[in-house]
Amino acid sequence: AQSVTQLGSHVSVSEGALVLLRCNYSSSVPPYLFWYVQYPNQGLQLLLKYTTGATLVKGINGFEAEFKKSETSFHLTKPSAHMSDAAEYFCAASNSGGYQKVTFGTGTKLQVIP
């Protein structure tokens, strides 16, 4: 079965600093990979996704993630944190045939310190 591991349930960065949120997956076949963001009292919003092709994926709000098959990782980065980036981030994976049966990680809460 597919599983997704997010290292660090809470991450704090200073405003303007690099954001790095870690995600590893376990899969016997190449998965589709996603990062979602959840702001308080709002629904999950897709930041970016990897399906096939280029392994460096750019998303909204300046975020990007790189699919590294050899490391089974899909870490999320942003060069410079903004206060508005404070939210909870979920890494997810899907490899069920035909449709997206998505398995989510447990989430990482990002705090941005002014």
Partner 1 sequence: GAGVSQTPSNKVTEKGKYVELRCDPISGHTALYWYRQSLGQGPEFLIYFQGTGAADDSGLPNDRFFAVRPEGSVSTLKIQRTERGDSAVYLCASSLSGIGLAGAISTDTQYFGPGTRLTVL
**Binding positions for partner 1, rule: CB under 8 A:** 4, 9, 32, 36, 41-46, 49, 51, 90, 92, 94-107
Nearer to partner 1, 97 or 114 (CB): 97
Shortest Cβ 114–partner 1 spacing (Å): 26
In whole angstroms, how close is the CB of 41 to partner 1 at the nearest point?
A: 7
Q: 113, 11 in Cβ contact below 8 A?
A: no
Q: Which is nearer to partner 1, 6 or 73 (CB)?
A: 6
- Cβ–Cβ under 8 Å, residues 25 and 55: no
Amino acid residing at 35 = W
Name the nearest CA neighbour of 57 among 72, 78, 30.
78
| Least Å from the CB of residue 36 to partner 1 | 8
| Strand residues in 19-105 grouped as ranges (E) | 19-26, 32-38, 44-50, 56-58, 64-68, 73-78, 87-94, 103-104
In the complex with partner 1, which residue's Cβ is closer, 14 or 26? 26
Residue 4 Cβ vs partner 1, minimum distance, rounded to whole Å: 8
Which C-beta is closer to partner 1: that of 4 or that of 65? 4
Contact 89, 107 (CB under 8 A): yes
